[in-house]
Amino acid sequence: MKVLILHQYFNTPETGGPLRSYYLAKALAEKGTTVAIITTHNGNDFRKEMIEGIEVHYLPIPYSNSFGFFKRIASFLKFVFSIVREAKQFKDYNICYAISTPLTIGLAAIWIKKRYTIPYIFEVGDLWPEAPIQIGIIRNSILKKILYTLEKSIYKRSTSIVALSETIKEAIRKKVPGKRIDVISNMADVEYYNPSDKDPELEKKFNVVGKRVLSYIGTFGLANGLEQILTCAQTVSSIPDIHFILCGDGAMRSNLLKLAEEHRLINVSFIPMQDRNGVKEVLNVTDATFISYQPLPVLETGSPNKYFDALAAGKMIVVNFKGWIKEEIEENSSGVYVNPRQPDDFKQKVLPILQNNDMLQQYQQAARTLAVRKHSRKHLVDRFVKLFS
């Protein structure tokens, strides 16, 4: 069996960032499957590397979370055209696994199917174009129609679909009834992230000695609604032992820094995006992790990596959006929902738990139990490998 994986954002533990495609490819390689990945990097030259049995083709196509909408689209389309040029060397492969976002990766998968009769499985992590439409980035009615048509065409032409949540599965099912759709969520790396006592040296490093810490780790994008976290910080700014760490990068970073400065939020720290070891350090000093999105229906369907890392590390979860994650943490007593439209909700719901050590530990232990029972990496990659047997 030979599997070609298309993913614009392939990362390794050394580079940091989401590692889903790395773990999926590694699981296939460990079973004796020949695996090649076409991806991108921000360098100037093409390069090929063998990484733990995975043949990785890096195309020089710049991309950053700080890019505006049209610059992102240009990067997405350049990747598609570059895949078309590269694909001929994989014409004897058995199947293609195309990972979105971006949705445009489906164009490359369709071309490979037509040109080399290689079928493809399409993975959907976010409902696109629904997300940018609901956020308000895409407003032109003609463009909306074109993108919805493209989305449905990609789904219909696939052999099957992998959805990262049940709610994504149900949304896709309405568009392509009868299509096989498997749900394989993002993964909790319960071997790497473990509950542990706070390291005094790390508390000094992050200047949070003796404090209860809430962290946000991930993208600072328009969809994330991180100004809501700053509002929460403002409501408890008079309480000296509560501190917020915002770790990451993205288009909204400068706006958030400015907002924190305007409100003199000395209980908020901003640190750059970290590799996996850095994330582990931040989680070590963290008591609760904030998972944040704007309150839009489409954003309630997602499967954010930061949620699963926090579960694995045994951190209480705080969310400011509804949907399956809210339901899951409430059913498992591993987290709390705060209403983004009620500024005092955080102070009333979360603060009492942070100030009660026994209650906090109960939530943390429940989070770890949920990670091991339902979202462990080993369990999910085994299900993934079975798709190709």
pLDDT greater than 90 at residue 174:
yes
Q: Residue 272 — φ and ψ, nearest 5°?
A: -70, 165
| Spatial distance between the Cα atoms of 132 and 68, rounded to a whole number of angstroms | 12
Instruction: Examine domains 2-184 and 200-374 and report if their fold is the same.
Output: yes
Structure token digits, residue 34: 């020949």
| Spatial distance between the Cα atoms of 217 and 18, rounded to a whole number of angstroms | 11
Quick one: pLDDT band at residue 61, thresholds 50, 70, 90?
A: very high
Order of strands, edge to edge, in the sheet holding 181-183? 47-51, 54-60, 34-41, 2-6, 95-100, 120-124, 160-163, 181-183
The proportion of the chain whose per-residue pLDDT surpasses 90, expressed as a percent, equals 89
What is residue 102's predicted lDDT score, i.e. its pLDDT?
A: 86
Quick one: pLDDT band at residue 364, thresholds 50, 70, 90?
A: very high
Domains in the chain: boundaries: 2-184, 200-374
How many other C-beta atoms can be found within 10 angstroms of the C-beta atom of residue 353? 21
Percent helix, strand and coil across the chain, each rounded to 5?
45, 20, 35
Multiple choice CATH, 200-374, 3.20.20.80, 3.30.43.10, 3.30.565.10, 3.40.50.2000: 3.40.50.2000
pLDDT greater than 80 at residue 66:
no
Question: Which DSSP state fits 135?
Answer: H
Residue among 170, 175, 133 at smallest CA distance from 151: 175
2-184 is classed in which CATH architecture? 3-Layer(aba) Sandwich (3.40)
Q: What is the mean pLDDT of residues 353-382?
A: 96
Q: What is the mean pLDDT of residues 319-341?
A: 97
pLDDT greater than 80 at residue 32:
yes
The proportion of the chain whose per-residue pLDDT surpasses 70, expressed as a percent, equals 99
Span 75-130, pLDDT tens digits: 888 999 999 999 999 999 999 999 998 899 999 999 999 999 999 999 999 999 99
Span 189-245, pLDDT tens digits: 999 999 999 999 999 999 999 999 999 999 999 999 999 999 999 999 999 999 999
pLDDT greater than 90 at residue 8:
yes
pTM above 0.85, yes or no: yes
Quick one: pLDDT band at residue 69, thresholds 50, 70, 90?
A: confident
Structure token digits, residue 358: 């026994």
Q: Is there a contact between 12 and 277 (Cβ–Cβ < 8 Å)?
A: no
What is residue 18's predicted lDDT score, i.e. its pLDDT?
A: 86
